[in-house]
Amino acid sequence: MAETDEWSANATESLNISLVAPATGATKTIASFNPKFTYSIFGDDERIFGYKDLRIDLRYRTFDMRPNVKVSYGKKFQSVGETEAADVNATLKEHLPLVAFESAREFNTGAQSQPDGWTPPGAFHSSYEGHDGTYEVWKGSLADPAVRQIVTRVEALIPMFIEGGSYISRDANDEEDPWKVPEDANRWTVFFLYRKQTSPEASGRPSYTFVGYATVYRFFCFRPLTPPSSEWDLPKEEFNLLEELPCRSRLSQFLILPPFQGKGIGARLYKTIFEHYYNNPQTLELTVEDPNEAFDDMRDLADLTFLRSLPEFSNVKINTSIALPNPPSGTVPKDLVDQELLRNLRQKTKIVDRQFKRLIEMQTMSQLPASVKVGFGEEQKAKPTKEEKHHYHLWQLFVKQRLYRQNADVLGQLDQSERSEKLNEALSSVELEYARLLDWHARWEEHAAAASAAAAESGGSKRKSVDDAEDQGASKKVRIEDA
């Protein structure tokens, strides 16, 4: 066993990923980092057998993300019977395109300069100014060969940084041609995020650095047909039927490379995508596929900020004139919050039902009197009045209503006392989660207000958005990462 361990390398530590940018007549490495996970590539134990001092260098050109792999080691295990060293290159070929295994010399030559006039694939979508350059979002279809080429190059990073992340550009079950164009490629929309800079080294020409990307899948759905007006004519311009059909859009992959995390960039990309589908008349709903906790936090803050920008959202309140059910196990009032207002808001914002309900609960919790509101810190609270207690109990009832419906199958099997205990435990957990998020959001608002005031005094202007909240939240217990 000891000898076997001696020849076993930690895959996560052995794999080094770097970004290589053009320099004057050469290249420069602008960032290096290790993956978080390698179990989807090298097995659940994330070990590679058969090498001492193993090093796997996976380099990417910063503009077109062309990869190059180099495997080096101090010693290699000599085969004994059926026991032999793992074939690292063969394993990686199942996850990276063949261009990654061409010579390092060819890669280095191509990485020394970005071709004149090169731009990211797809169509320019939007941009914003950052502290270190202009950040541009480019949008395209996976059916576009140039878009698909970059996706196939960077997609190996998805399971390395997103637990349970999967591929969309390759089919592992297709042994003959796993890289062929997916049949549903035209349903995939890809958003690339690039940083654009100019430097004397490039004679003032813009240079692009890949920052991250996201993919969105369209599920077509049907609405009741309405007859066309009498003056309706066939469109005279180029017409894409698929883009005109009503759909539900699902955010599937979302990755910001580690060197760019913790700077609010992920929140900015999410906001850009959300606003795109919010303004898209064909999209009925925007969902997220299996988000992790870090992404959930970012999404909560971004969605809450967006909702608070809508005038009608200020009308979302607990109806404190409603009496509590008597006995407590009696029928829960239906209109604790104006249901028609909520239906109209959800339809307008296109936020998926469960996420929307959580945001409503956060908003109504933020309106609770300080005497009853759960929060961080040890500040003294005033003794709550009868009216304040009533407000708090109505809010608790409002949240319990969702929790019960969400877990009805399990809770329905418990007796009343146990069911009540489980609901109260779940409610306490929800309160603490919301308190953390609302505390983070409040501190960000204070920071944004102070920054705006400082900018106004200096005669400048600085726009703040929820993307700046990532750094603000990092000083608290929770640490947010783009994922």
Element (H, E) at 188: strand 188-198
CATH fold group of domain 117-223+243-290: Aminopeptidase (3.40.630)
The residue count for the chain: 483
Residues of the chain under the 70 pLDDT cut: 1-4, 172-176, 200-203, 222-243, 327-330, 376-378, 448, 451-483
Annotated binding-site residue numbers for acetyl-CoA: 254-256, 292
pTM > 0.75: yes
Fold of 1-113: Histone Acetyltransferase; domain 1 (3.90.360)
User: What's the one-letter identity of residue 137?
Assistant: V
Q: Whole-angstrom Cα distance, residue 254 to residue 162? A: 9
Residue 331's pLDDT is 73
Nearest to 275 by CA among 472, 144, 126, 473: 126
Angle between helices 293-308 and 265-278 (to 10 degrees): 50
Is residue 310 within 8 A of residue 304, CB to CB? The reply is no
Q: Which secondary-structure segment (H or E) carries 9?
A: strand 8-10
Between the CA of residue 119 and those of 60, 138, 165, 353, 379, what are the distances in Å? 17, 9, 28, 38, 54
Q: Count other C-beta atoms under 10 Å from residue 191's C-beta.
A: 23
Q: Which pair of structure tokens corresponds to residue 282?
A: 């064909």
Q: What is the pLDDT of residue 419?
A: 80
Instruction: List binding-site positions.
Output: 254-256, 292
Which position among 102, 289, 433, 445 bears the catalytic label? 289
Specify the pairing of strand 8-10 against strand 47-49.
antiparallel
Instruction: For residues 104 and 465, give the distance between their C-alpha atoms in angstroms, rounded to a whole number.
Output: 42
Say what the pLDDT of residue 456 is: 64
The pLDDT value given to residue 200: 64
Q: Which two tokens stand for residue 266?
A: 């992920």
SS3 276: helix
Look at residue 462 in the predicted model and tell me its pLDDT.
Answer: 44
The C-alpha angle 427, 433, 434, rounded to 5 degrees, equals 90
Domain ranges of the chain: 1-113, 117-223+243-290, 309-473
pLDDT of residue 5: 77
What is the predicted pLDDT for the residue at 474? 36
Question: Is 482 within 8 Å of 266 (Cβ atoms)?
Answer: yes
> Is 289 in the active site?
yes
